[in-house]
């Protein structure tokens, strides 16, 4: 079957094209969706891409979380559809209460861009099943409002229930509590992360590796995982 993955463009989205490219490389069919629509066009999974939706006014992701299409995103997520929020998309997911906690200004008050080491803490999600538990990966990070915060009780729950999906290694780039880089919901179909896997899916355009400059493709398994999850669910 052909797995159709929708990528929603909001005013200020920057990485929607990259996300569509990543889906295509992963073997899916990317479908461009518009924030002002109420039609998901029959897609099997969704990506909320990175960028600066609505100029990050009010709070990053807060206005986008109220966009017309988000009503359909919420319903789809509750039905179990795989939904990935990348950077600004992660901010939208927490603002829409599809994931807990919040994302605030980086601890050093500066925009940061780096190739970031991560550890996959939970590979039992629709977006991480092609990783090994504990696998260390490197994908690009670029944000100004990437500090993940939540109440201590909520952090304890996330840790205890295995809902921390990804954790920063080596450097905590933005002051995220407990080095959290990404989290999942209880069902494992909704995942939000601040780093950008769509920028590490094609040799020649990803992070450098010991083998060659810009050869890193550690972001690709996020998208192949989702394609496999949809195929498996339909089998």
Task: Read off the pLDDT of residues 66-97 as tens digits, 9 standing for 90 and up.
Answer: 999 999 999 999 999 999 999 999 999 999 99
Provide the 8-state DSSP code for 207: -
Distance CA 34, CA 44 (A): 16
Residues 6 or more apart in contact with residue 47 via CB below 8 angstroms: 5, 6, 7, 8, 19, 23, 83, 84, 85, 86, 89
Q: What is the pLDDT of residue 44?
A: 98
Q: What is the pLDDT of residue 162?
A: 98
Q: What is the pLDDT of residue 108?
A: 87
Q: What is the pLDDT of residue 56?
A: 87
The residue from 35, 95, 121, 196 that is catalytic is 196
Q: Where are the beta strands (DSSP E) in the chain?
A: 4-9, 29-34, 45-48, 83-86, 102-104, 112-120, 136-143, 147-149, 164-168, 180-184, 190-193
* 35 classed as catalytic: no
Three-state secondary-structure class, residue 55: helix
CB 61 within 8 A of CB 88: yes
Distance CA 45, CA 29 (A): 10
* 202 classed as catalytic: no
Polymer length in residues for the chain: 235
The residue from 121, 198, 199, 202 that is catalytic is 198
Q: What is the pTM of this model?
A: 0.97
Task: Give the model confidence (pLDDT) of 50-66 as tens digits.
Answer: 999 999 888 999 999 99
Mean pLDDT calculated for residue range 123-127: 98
Percent of the chain with pLDDT over 90: 93
Using the predicted structure, report yes or no on whether residue 126 has a pLDDT greater than 90: yes
Binned at pLDDT 50, 70 and 90, residue 104 comes out as very high
Using the predicted structure, report yes or no on whether residue 219 has a pLDDT greater than 90: yes
Sign of CA dihedral 207, 168, 60, 91: positive
Using the predicted structure, report yes or no on whether residue 235 has a pLDDT greater than 90: no
> For the chain, what is the largest distance between any 2 Cα atoms, rounded to a whole number of angstroms?
48
* 72 classed as catalytic: no
Mean pLDDT calculated for residue range 106-120: 94
The residue from 87, 95, 121, 202 that is catalytic is 87
Q: What is the pLDDT of residue 211?
A: 87
pLDDT, averaged across the chain: 96
């Amino acid at each position: 079957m052909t797995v159709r993955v929708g990528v929603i463009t909001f005013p200020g989205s920057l990485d929607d094209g990259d996300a569509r490219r990543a889906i295509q490389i992963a073997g899916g069919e990317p479908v461009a969706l518009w924030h002002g629509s109420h039609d998901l066009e029959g897609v099997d999974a969704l990506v909320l891409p990175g960028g600066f939706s609505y100029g990050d006014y009010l709070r990053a992701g807060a206005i986008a979380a109220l966009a017309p299409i988000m009503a359909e995103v919420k319903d789809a997520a509750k039905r179990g559809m795989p939904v990935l929020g990348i950077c600004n998309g992660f901010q939208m997911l927490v603002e829409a209460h599809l994931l807990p906690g919040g994302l605030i200004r980086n601890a050093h008050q500066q925009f940061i861009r780096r190739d970031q080491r991560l550890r996959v803490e939970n590979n039992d999600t629709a977006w991480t099943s092609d990783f090994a538990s504990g696998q260390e990966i490197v994908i690009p990070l670029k944000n100004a409002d990437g500090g993940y915060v939540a109440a201590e009780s909520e952090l304890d729950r996330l840790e205890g229930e295995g809902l921390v999906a990804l954790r920063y290694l080596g450097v905590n780039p933005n002051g995220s509590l407990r080095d959290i880089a990404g989290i999942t919901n209880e069902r494992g179909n909704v995942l939000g992360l601040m780093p950008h896997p769509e920028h590490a899916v094609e040799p020649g355009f990803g992070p450098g590796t010991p083998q060659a400059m810009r050869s890193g493709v550690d972001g690709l398994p996020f998208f192949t995982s989702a394609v496999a999850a949809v195929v498996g669910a339909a089998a």
